[in-house]
Amino acid sequence: MTRRSLVLGVLAWVAVVISASAVTWAVIDAAGQQVLSASDVPPQAATPAEPPVPTASTGTIRPSPRASATRSRTAGPVPTRTASPSPSPSAPTPRRSPSGPPSPTGQSAPPASQQRTWQGPAGSVAVRCSGTSASLQSASPSDGYRVEVGSRGPGEVEVRFRADEREVKVRAECVAGTPRFSTENRGGERSDD
């Protein structure tokens, strides 16, 4: 094999790789444009989530628990904002008339759900409210603690974190569609957020 044929072979290989990469990039870009266009994104998805809401101090020397809030329009867990898939080709797509407001369909939107997370030295508890219905999304103990779930909802969520002689009971209920947490430490200490 001569040096010239080796160089031509390498150049041909580089040209094939560049061409294949360009075609792949174009296909992925076109698919991405079809999935998410500016007119498909609801206004709430473009705005950042509310900042975490601090809770009242428990009066102890340990760090006070904190809660964070996330709003979503769906009842399921929503860890991040994502684009909704485009409708299937067989499903009719409703179109807005440019001459006036859309006509009511008679269907009401499901109540907006809100998820909040309580965090403290014993662990964290995430609860989602949809109207007055509460549901436990997750309960994670800190190192050295174990978790026991007393109630997952819908009226109230109750989670206990235990470690040796310590116990922290976290309760959550929905107040005006928002999870409200209260805690009770073994020894009678109590806090509400």
Please give the pLDDT value at position 191.
Answer: 56
What Å distances lie between residue 111 and 72, 73, 132, CA to CA?
10, 8, 10
Lowest pLDDT segment from 10-14, 69-73, 187-191: 69-73
Confidence check: pLDDT of 153 > 80? yes
For residue range 157-190, what is the model confidence (pLDDT) as tens digits?
999 999 988 999 999 999 988 999 999 988 545 5
Global pTM value: 0.43
Q: 134 and 150 in contact (C-beta within 8 Å)?
A: no
Cα(94)–Cα(22) distance, integer angstroms: 36
153 or 20, greater pLDDT: 20
Please give the pLDDT value at position 32.
Answer: 72
Provide the residue ranges of all domains of the chain, joining segments of one domain with +: 1-41, 51-74+110-192
Confidence check: pLDDT of 102 > 70? no
Other CB atoms closer than 10 Å to residue 175's CB: what's the count? Answer: 11
